[in-house]
A = this chain, B = another copy of it.
Amino acid sequence: MGRRTDEVMDAVRDRIAARGLAAGDRLPSIRALATSLSVSPSTVVEAYERLAAEGMVRARLGSGMFVARSPAPRPLTTTRGDAERAIDPFWVSRQSLDAEPDAAKPGCGWLPADWMPTEALRRALRRAARAGDAVLTDYGSARGHAPLRQLLARQFAAEGLDVGPDAVLLTGSGTQALDLICRLLLRTGDTVLVDDPCYFNFRALLSAHRVTVVGVPMTPIGPDPASFAELAERHRPRLYVTNSAIHNPTGASLSPAVAHRVLAAAAAYDIAIVEDEILADFEPEPTPRLADLDGLERVLRIGSFSKTLSASVRCGYIAARLDWIEALTDLQIATQFGAASPVSAGVVHDALADGGYRRHMEGVRRRLGRARGEVARRLATIGLRLWTVPRGGFSLWCELPEGGSAADLARFAAGRGVVLAPGDVFSPSGRAGSMMRFNVAQMSDPRVWETVESGLAHGGER
**Contacts from A to B (Cβ < 8 Å):** 14, 18-20, 22, 72-77, 79, 89-90, 93-94, 96-98, 110-111, 113-114, 116, 118, 121-122, 125-126, 128-130, 132-142, 172-176, 179, 183-188, 190, 201, 204-205, 207-208, 236, 238, 270-272, 306, 309-314, 323-324, 326-327, 330-331, 333-338, 340-344, 347
Query: In the complex the two chains form, what is the Cα distance from A96 to B173 in whole Å?
Result: 23
Query: In the complex the two chains form, what is the Cα distance from A310 to B179 in whole Å?
Result: 25
Which B-chain residue is minimally distant from A183 (CB atoms)? B208
Query: In the complex the two chains form, what is the Cα distance from A226 to B330 in whole Å?
Result: 35
Residues of B within 8 A of A309 (CB): 137
Interchain nearest-CB distance for A389 vs B (Å): 28
Given A19-B238, A90-B333, 6 further pairs, Cβ under 8 A = A20-B238, A79-B330, A175-B335, A204-B334, A312-B343, A313-B341
Out of B179, B312, B327, name the residue touching A135 (CB < 8 Å).
Answer: B312
Is the Cβ of B179 less than 8 Å from the Cβ of A336?
Answer: yes
Residues of B within 8 A of A347 (CB): 343
Residues of B within 8 A of A327 (CB): 72-76, 79
Is the Cβ of B208 less than 8 Å from the Cβ of A334?
Answer: yes
Residues of B within 8 A of A132 (CB): 113
Given contacts A73-B184, A142-B94, A327-B75, contact A172 B336 (CB under 8 A): yes
Given contacts A73-B185, A74-B327, A334-B205, contact A129 B125 (CB under 8 A): yes
Query: In the complex the two chains form, what is the Cα distance from A122 to B135 in whole Å?
Result: 11
Residues of B within 8 A of A208 (CB): 183, 331, 334-335
Interface centre among A133, A136, A310 (most CB of B within 10 A): A136
**20 A-B residue pairs with CB within 8 Å:** A20-B271, A73-B324, A73-B327, A76-B331, A90-B330, A93-B333, A98-B141, A98-B142, A110-B139, A113-B134, A116-B137, A138-B312, A140-B312, A172-B314, A173-B337, A175-B336, A179-B336, A183-B208, A207-B334, A314-B340
Interchain nearest-CB distance for A110 vs B (Å): 7
Query: In the complex the two chains form, what is the Cα distance from A176 to B333 in whole Å?
Result: 10
Given contacts A76-B327, A139-B311, contact A337 B93 (CB under 8 A): yes
Given contacts A73-B324, A207-B334, contact A20 B272 (CB under 8 A): yes
Is the Cβ of B337 less than 8 Å from the Cβ of A201?
Answer: yes
Is the Cβ of A97 less than 8 Å from the Cβ of B18?
Answer: no
Interchain nearest-CB distance for A26 vs B (Å): 13
Is the Cβ of B333 less than 8 Å from the Cβ of A201?
Answer: yes
Given contacts A137-B113, A142-B94, A335-B205, contact A76 B330 (CB under 8 A): yes
Out of B75, B116, B138, name the residue touching A133 (CB < 8 Å).
Answer: B116
Residues of B within 8 A of A142 (CB): 93-94, 97-98
Residues of B within 8 A of A22 (CB): 270
Residues of B within 8 A of A311 (CB): 137-140, 338
Given contacts A18-B238, A333-B97, contact A306 B116 (CB under 8 A): no
Out of B136, B204, B207, name the residue touching A116 (CB < 8 Å).
Answer: B136
Interface centre among A142, A270, A310, A335 (most CB of B within 10 A): A335
Is the Cβ of B338 less than 8 Å from the Cβ of A97?
Answer: yes
Out of B74, B94, B172, B272, name the residue touching A172 (CB < 8 Å).
Answer: B172
Out of B136, B175, B187, B270, name the residue touching A312 (CB < 8 Å).
Answer: B136
Interchain nearest-CB distance for A142 vs B (Å): 4
Is the Cβ of A18 less than 8 Å from the Cβ of B190?
Answer: yes
Out of B130, B272, B313, B333, name the residue touching A122 (CB < 8 Å).
Answer: B130
Which B-chain residue is minimally distant from A174 (CB atoms)? B337
Which B-chain residue is minimally distant from A124 (CB atoms)? B129
Is the Cβ of A310 less than 8 Å from the Cβ of B18?
Answer: no
Is the Cβ of A341 less than 8 Å from the Cβ of B338?
Answer: no
Residues of B within 8 A of A179 (CB): 335-336
Is the Cβ of A323 less than 8 Å from the Cβ of B73?
Answer: yes
Residues of B within 8 A of A312 (CB): 135-140, 341-343
